Amino acid sequence: MTEPEQNDAAAAEGGHSDREVNCDQAMDAMDAMVASARIQRGVVMDDTVALTEDQRREIRGRFARLLNNGDITYTQAAKGLGGDVTKGKLSQVVRGVYRDEGRGKQTVDRILRNLDKWLGHHESISNAPKLPGFATITVAREIRGIAQAVVDMQKMAAVWADAGVGKTSTLRWLLSVFPGSILVTINDGTNTVSSFLRELARSLELEVGHFRHENRYAILERLRNSGRLLLIVDEAHLADLRVLNCIRQLHDDCGISVLLAGQRGLQKRLDQGRQDDSIGAMLWSRVQIKRNLHERCEGGRGQAMYPMEDIHKLFGKSAVRMASSAMQWLAKVANSAKDGYLRTATTVHLSAQYIATRSPTPSPVITVELLEQANVLMNGRDRAYAISQRIKQTRKVA
């Protein structure tokens, strides 16, 4: 009898299956979120009663304190409130000089009420647990090494891996490693040659022209002999061969090094282009380094994509202390393709921190049970159950 069947049999005999336990964990996590939502975060308790002068003064003072501390700006708050609230109107309301014939006090009270709620949520966001900061883990070191090589040789490189392994955060970090580098992401707005050139022109702070050749000429003039070190293209698997060839031409014409990064579709794009047409063949020949970031853990090599050293770097400075068994749980998820790699591990950890700090009885340590609670909330009972079963069957991460 399989383990799921054994669990179901236990439930039939009056015991509790893992799925039932998962449901209990999900309810515990939901109760923690409900408890957090009940916290009164503003000055105004009742929207049906007119504001008193003391309440108006307290809301204005609360805004002024955050403003003076540099936590918010008038522009940010006005955009957050939306509607008819402009920066100027908000400034007048906060300073107590707003005038509007016939509706002045109603408008002031409406804006102050909404400002009171917005400030409460802003403070709640500021105090909430955060994702772990960037760390130079194995994947980051590999990408950085490849970037250094193509900068040194003034060539092109392509790296690819599944979603969720930490490519994008590493590419953003490279902007600080190589000053003056440019990062462009391929998406629905940049997946044609014309739109890509427009986005690249904006990144170079050029005046964007109406025609493709205008933007291309301006980009070449800016980059040629400029000393710019690196052009980084994220989500490159979404670009067709014409866009990739445009990038190749920029490399040829102005000598800037290029790092293409994306999912496994990037490898397929390069392979198909090499076999199908001359454009693809030229692109293939220009890409000096082609790196599958999963190679170290594929083909029977047995290496973990994220060894425990990486896991401790990422989660060791958690706002809530981590139990060693919880670290191992996160390591197994981070190294699982089916479970979403590092992205799933970090978001489960974030949710577990939230539950630990916002529960009616806060927990001083994140345990496997807390991670399981967060897992059920994030992924639903059935997927969370499948993840839990895979974790039980996975070897300890070295």
Residues in the chain: 398
Task: Identify the three-state secondary structure at position 132.
Answer: coil
Residue 229 in tokens: 């070190």
List per-residue pLDDT tens for the chain, 398 residues long. Answer: 444 444 443 333 334 455 555 566 667 777 777 776 666 667 776 677 788 899 899 999 999 999 998 889 999 999 999 988 999 999 999 998 887 666 667 888 889 989 989 998 888 888 888 888 889 999 999 999 999 999 999 999 999 999 999 999 999 999 999 999 999 999 998 989 999 999 999 999 999 988 889 999 999 999 998 888 899 999 999 999 999 999 999 999 999 999 999 999 999 989 887 776 778 888 898 999 999 999 888 765 668 899 999 999 999 988 899 999 999 999 999 999 888 899 999 999 999 998 888 887 888 999 999 999 899 888 888 888 888 888 888 888 87
> For residue 397, what is the DSSP state?
P
Q: Cβ(252)–Cβ(286) under 8 Å?
A: yes
Strands (E), the chain: 156-160, 182-185, 230-234, 257-262, 287-292, 321-322, 365-366
CA 14, 15, 20, 21 dihedral sign is: positive
Adjacent-strand bridge partners of 395 = none
Instruction: Name, in order, each residue with C-beta under 8 angstroms of 47's C-beta and a sequence gap of 6 or more.
Output: 113
Q: Cβ(66)–Cβ(119) under 8 Å?
A: yes
DSSP 173-215: HHHHHSTT-EEEE-STTTSSHHHHHHHHHHHTTPPPPSSHHHH
H helix or E strand, kind and range, residue 5: helix 3-12
Question: pTM to 2 decimals?
Answer: 0.81
Burial class (CB in 10 A: 0-12, 13-18, 19+), 111: buried
Strands 257-262 and 156-160 come out as: parallel
Give the helix ranges, DSSP H, for 13-159: 18-37, 53-68, 74-81, 87-95, 104-127, 138-153
Backbone angles phi, psi at 160, to 5 degrees: -145, 155
Angle between the 341-358 and 308-315 helix axes, to the nearest 10 degrees?
Answer: 40
Residue 99 in tokens: 């005038």
Adjacent-strand bridge partners of 227 = none
Side-chain half-sphere CA neighbours of 230 within 13 A: 28
Task: Identify the three-state secondary structure at position 37.
Answer: helix
Task: Identify the three-state secondary structure at position 256.
Answer: coil
Residue type, 348: V
Measure the CA–CA gap between 40 and 54, rounded to whole angstroms: 18
Q: What is the CA radius of gyration of the chain?
A: 27
User: Which has the closest alpha carbon to 187: 219, 232, 234, 246?
Assistant: 234
Q: What is the pLDDT of residue 1?
A: 45
C-alpha dist (Å) from residue 24 to 14, 88, 240: 16, 50, 48
Q: Cβ(257)–Cβ(230) under 8 Å?
A: yes
Q: Which domains does the chain have, with CATH numbers?
A: 1-38+306-398 (no CATH), 53-127 (1.10.260), 138-297 (3.40.50.300)
- The C-alpha angle 60, 64, 67, rounded to 5 degrees, equals 140
> For residue 114, what is the DSSP state?
H
